[in-house]
Every structure is written in structure tokens, then in C-alpha cells.
Amino acid sequence: AQSVTQLGSHVSVSEGALVLLRCNYSSSVPPYLFWYVQYPNQGLQLLLKYTTGATLVKGINGFEAEFKKSETSFHLTKPSAHMSDAAEYFCAVSPAYNNNDMRFGAGTRLTVKP
Amino acid sequence: DAGVTQSPTHLIKTRGQQVTLRCSPKSGHDTVSWYQQALGQGPQFIFQYYEEEERQRGNFPDRFSGHQFPNYSSELNVNALLLGDSALYLCASSFSPGQGTDTQYFGPGTRLTVL
């Protein structure tokens, strides 16, 4: 079975500062890992995903995440926060090669201060 | 290319009633998954439909049922509504090249309120 823990339900950063959203996973099989973003009253938009290969994954809007198997982590980062980054971010895990059952974390709300 | 679409956008029902939510997948996708997102929580997997059959199911009671049509669109039905069924219901579509499925793309959701 798979599960995800997102550390910190709320993160606040200043505009231009580094964004770091933490995600740790548990999986009995090799995982696929995802980050989704959700803006108010909207569905989820895929930011990036790790399947196989390079462990540093680049996504949309300047975000990237690094898969660290030894730490069972998949933290999301962005060098410089923009006001438009304010949203809810969800980390998710599924078994590799079988995305039928995706498990999501509880989410982290990112606030960006001017 | 239209993405995943869901209808209706909002719905208000009373306890004990039944509701049907609809989803049209992204072009080229043949698999539909449904999720329930309660307020302040992450999405919870309800079930997934492929080739008009339920392929996998999460931990939801039989009151939750679904259907997939030959054009790959899908319906989620919930019977005997409870207050706790109030949530955002998300549909996600994907392509299944084999036993598994590829990346899921989400629709905007249907907000269900049960009074």
C-alpha cells in the first residue's frame, strides 16, 4: 500500500523567496510520484511527475522536485515565489506502472506575501 | 482540445436523495477515475472505470456506484445521501496502455452540498 505525508499544512513565504514544500512517501513497491496544484474552486493541475530515470524533475511554472529514495522524499521547490503561486499543493503516489490507485497527501496551502 | 469536463458545477441535495454526476474525458483517454475531496483534505480515490467496467475501487460503500459508456464518458451515482457526502467530486481521465494507466488529468469538479 502507498501513502503520502505532507509536512506543514500551511507555508508562508515572501515574494521572491525560496519555496519548499515537503513530501514523504511510503510504498511497498517502486513508486510514481506527482505534484498537483489546486487553485480556489478549481480542479487539480499536474505540476510535475517522477516515473523513472532522472531523479530531478522539472515541471511547469518554474517548479522542480527531486526523488530521493534513501529519504523516501519528493520535496517541491521553486527558487523565487510569485504572488500567482498562492494555491493548495498536493503530493501523490501510485505504484510504478500501475497508476490505477493514486493516493494523495492532505495538501499544503502556500501563501505568498508581497 | 477540450480537457476533462464535468457537470453540473454545483449541486444541492437533501439527505436520502440520490445524485448523478457526469464526466467527459480528455480526447484520446479511455479511463476515468473518480475522487472525493472533502473540505480541507486531499482527494480520496473512489473507483476507476476502464472498458466500461469498474477496474479498481477504493474504500467507499456500495452507495457509490458508477458507469462508463462506449464513448468513455462516465457517471458517478450516490444513493441515500448523507451529510458527510458533501464534498468536491473530481473526475480524472487517462490512457491505459496495459494493466496500469498513464498520468491522470483532472476536471474542475462538481461541488455537492447535502442538507
Per-residue pLDDT tens for A12-63? 999 999 999 999 999 888 889 999 999 987 889 999 999 888 899 999 999 9
Q: Which pLDDT value is given to residue A64?
A: 97
Rg (CA), chain B: 13
Instruction: Give the mutation candidate from B50, B106, B112 for the A interface (greatest A CB count, under 10 A).
Output: B106
- Please, what is the end-to-end C-alpha distance for chain B in angstroms? 37
Q: Which pLDDT value is given to residue A24?
A: 97
Instruction: Measure in Å the smallest separation between the Cα of A10 and chain B Cα atoms.
Output: 11
Residue B4 touches partner A, C-beta closer than 8 Å: yes
d(CA B31, CA B53): 10
A99/B108 touch (CB, cutoff 8 Å), yes or no: no
B55/A42 touch (CB, cutoff 8 Å), yes or no: no
Per-residue pLDDT tens for B22-80? 999 999 999 999 999 999 899 999 999 999 999 989 999 999 999 999 999 999 999 99
User: Residue A46: how many CB atoms within 10 A of its CB?
Assistant: 17
Could you give the count of Cα atoms lying within 13 Å of B24 in the half-sphere of its Cβ?
8
Q: Which pLDDT value is given to residue A102?
A: 86
Per-residue pLDDT tens for A10-21? 999 999 999 999
Residue B48 touches partner A, C-beta closer than 8 Å: yes
d(CA B34, CA B46): 5
User: Residue A106: how many CB atoms within 10 A of its CB?
Assistant: 14
Q: Band of the pLDDT at B100, cuts 50, 70, 90?
A: low
